[in-house]
Structure 1
Amino acid sequence: MAVLERARTHHTPAGRGSSAQGIGLMLALTATVIWSGNFVIARALHDTVPPVQTAFWRWIIALLAVAPLALPQVRRQWPAIRRHLGFLALAALLGVTLFNTLIYQAGRSTSATNMAMIAAAAPAMIALFARGGEKLGARGTAGMVIALAGVVTLVGKGSPTAVLRLDLAPGDLWMVAATAAFAGYSALLRRRPEGIGGLPFLFMTFALGAAMLVPAYAVSLVLQGGFEPVAGTVGPLLYIGICSSAVAYFTWNKAIALVGATRAGVVYYLQPVCVALLSFAALDEAVGGTQVVCMILIIAGVALGAGRRR
């Protein structure tokens, strides 16, 4: 991270800058695709694992997945980690403890359409939270608006005004809170302290976030009981713990280090497209003409907004 920040203050060859930008956008796309699979997989846990327990075991699995590679670096970077424990705790609270737990809670009392509609606000929130250190520009703003229009029309089944007719439920407020937590986490990543590498940052935020979930996990066990560790619960937990957590968070954080939270957030608009394509491939759900047009609109907006500025 320190090397990246120093590199921004010096002139670099155009080819090198373009390469870093391309890698950053591909990493943001990779995280978005993986998280899209998380929405499909999470449905399998809706009736079998309580939300807090899903979140707790997700992060325990993620912690175990990154520990072998991260622990040696954590030991070397411990002085910097200890100095910035407050920053790490805030990042863990937003991106680990709150974000996914609130999504699982929202899914119990609101529709998938409402959730997708509210989640579409994440890139705009990221741009708002990061405005102090990043400028999206006219081109980026236009791309964000075009992509958002495609998302609104897609989840509205062809009607851009369908959002005005959505029925509000308690889960909608949970989803708003989840989206705000994710946007705050993404904007916060640009201020990651020097001396803390990517893997140590992940390990510490996973560990702190899981620790913050322990009291809620204990209450959930008492009130709701545990769950049966069978293939139908362990398999999805392994996916969201390893792929949607360890892998996706690493690629997302690296993408933000390379291209910034705002431009990476524009790529996040592709999530409804990815979910639709994954549902078509995995669940054999039909994709209509309106959906195709909306997907093209979203992709065009992302391409415009994420494109490299002179």
Structure 2
Amino acid sequence: MSTDAGQRLTPSTIALLIIPPLMWAGNAVVGRMMQGVVPPITLNFLRWGLALLILLPVAGWVLRPGSELWPHWKRFALLGLLGVGLYNALQYMALKTSTPINVTLVSAATPIWMLLLGRLFFGVRVSRQAAVGAALSLSGVATVLARGDITQLLSVRLVPGDAWMLAASFIWATYSWLLARPKPGAEPAAIKADWAAFLLAQMVFGLVWSGTMTTGEWLWLGSQPGETASHITWGWPLAAALVYVAVGPSLLAYRCWGAGVSRVGPTIAGFFSNLTPLFAAVMSATLLGEMPQLFHAAGFALIVSGILVSTRR
């Protein structure tokens, strides 16, 4: 796997790296809509439970006794904790007190975490053009956050949800590096060659982590005055939301992200995650009946410029 900043981006690789932020933007909007319908950690558990049921018919062999998964369970348990159990749970928790645009904007810190973790733990040098690309991409995010008026940045106040999302972006960067740089022999060839089996292997452990956290959430809610531990509003809105988050952000996005990271490495892939707030802004505006503004185009241009600068030969 290459993490070289000069890795060429082919059209197919660009498509692989654009689909995940598009799906994740929709995930943030849907997660915000589900506040008050289902508790956030419970939503994460239901999401991955449904995704696991979808994958079982095509990759269930990986869970059979004698599978190569079990001798390597520690590796997949760690990936499941970070990518399935923690990251999305923290994002849904963040959406309780923050908006989809704010949450996805805060997650734009991911490329910075990618660069720092790569330098500190994987010996990857931070090139000048990677640093310039990061600055350009983040300036694009700032343009969207400020709605085209940079002076508005001075009035931004972080809420608890933004802090949760900052922690989530660090976890995602760690997950991506572990995905890209496995130790020799840490991943059986048969599982690694089958994306569905590879994801299912993470899911089965991630659901254990998520189920444990969901139990804690219900116990905590049950101890709060005026809270109902089992407050879930069942109906078609929740059903539609679960289908979307289980298929789009879970299966499709993870498949494309894993393939994209394997081609260009987590550092370059991290720049594409900065497209998420732009997509979230457009989706949020559409749902509110507002058309995208000029500053959305300006932010998009800066973000794409950062991607091109960081990856050009």
Shorter-normalised TM range: 0.7 to 0.9
Question: Who is 1:273 aligned against?
Answer: 278
- Alpha-carbon distance between aligned partners in 1 of 2:97 and 2:286, rounded to the nearest angstrom: 27
| Pairing 1:293–2:281 present | no
Taking the aligned partners of 1:133 and 1:33, their CA distance within structure 2 comes to 31
1:183 correspondence with 2:173: yes
Cα distance in structure 2, aligned partners of 1:248 and 1:281: 22
Q: Distance in 2 between matches of 1:18 and 1:152?
A: 27
CA-to-aligned-CA distance 1:250-307 (integer Å, 9 cap, x gap)? 1101111111001111111111222233345554322222332222222222222234
Q: Cα deviation per residue 1:11-62 (whole Å; 9 max; x = unaligned)?
A: xxxxxx958x443332111111111111222222011110111010011011
Partner of 2:136: 146
Mapped contact 2:103–2:162 kept (Cα < 8 A): yes
Q: CA separation of 1:110/1:37 partners in 2, compared to 1, >3 Å: closer, same or farther?
A: closer
**More displaced, 114-123 or 203-212?**
114-123
- Equivalent pair of 1:119/1:175 in contact (CA under 8 Å): yes
1:201 is matched with: 198
Deviations for 1:196-228, whole angstroms, at most 9, x for unmatched residues?
322222101111111112223234345221413
User: What is the aligned partner in structure 1 of residue 246 from structure 2?
Assistant: 241
Distance 1:24 1:259 in 2: 8
Residue equivalent to 2:230: 225
Count residues with an aligned counterpart. 292
Q: Which letter maps to 2:144?
A: L
- CA drift of 1:135 comes to 4.4
What pairs up with 1:69-218 in 2 under 5 angstroms? 69-73=58-62, 75=64, 78-79=67-68, 81-112=69-100, 114-131=102-119, 132=122, 134-135=124-125, 137-160=127-150, 162-192=152-182, 193-194=186-187, 195=189, 196-197=191-192, 198-218=195-215
Separation in 1 of the partners of 2:126 and 2:16? 19
Question: Counterpart in 2 of 1:44?
Answer: 33
Alignment partners' CA distance in 1, 2:118 and 2:106 = 19
Where does the alignment leave 5 or more consecutive residues of structure 1 unmatched?
9-16
- The separation in 1 between residues aligned to 2:71 and 2:156, in whole angstroms, is 46
* Higher fraction of helix: 1
Instruction: String of CA shifts for 1:217-249, please: whole Å, max 9, x gaps.
Output: 234345221413210111101110111101111
The 10-residue stretch of structure 1 (163-172 or 83-92) with the greater mean CA deviation from structure 2: 163-172
- Check conservation: 1:140, 1:305, Cα contact below 8 A: yes
Structure 2 CA distance for partners of 1:163 and 1:94, relative to 1, 3 Å: farther
Runs of 4+ that moved beyond 6 A: none
Please give the TM-score of this superposition, normalised by the length of structure 1: 0.85
Aligned to 1:12: none
Provide the C-alpha distance between the structure 2 equivalents of 1:253 and 1:141, rounded to a whole number of angstroms: 24
- Name stretches of at least 5 consecutive residues in structure 2 with no aligned partner: 223-228
Name whichever of 61-70 and 277-286 sits farther off: 277-286
CA distance 1:76–1:127, shift in 2 (3 Å): farther
Q: Out of 3, 11, 14, which is 1:25 matched to?
A: 14
Q: Which residue of 2 aligns with 1:11?
A: none
**Distance apart, 1:112 and its partner CA:** 4.5
Deviations along 1:112-147, one digit per CA (max 9) or x if unpaired, are 554233211011112222232544533332222111
CA drift of 1:168 comes to 3.3
1:227 alignment partner, SS class: coil
Inter-partner Cα distance in structure 1 for 2:12 and 2:253: 15
SS of residue in 2 equivalent to 1:84: helix
The farther-off stretch of 36-45 and 165-174 is: 165-174
Q: Which amino acid aligns with 1:94?
A: L
**Secondary structure of the equivalent of 2:274?**
helix
The alignment-based identity, stated in percent, is: 29
Q: 2:225 matched to which residue of 1?
A: none
* Contact kept? 2:132, 2:306, Cα under 8 Å: yes
Determine the C-alpha separation between the residues in 2 that align with 1:300 and 1:230. 43
1:184 Cα offset (Å) = 0.8
Is the contact between residue 106 and residue 170 of structure 1 (CA under 8 Å) also seen in structure 2? Answer: yes
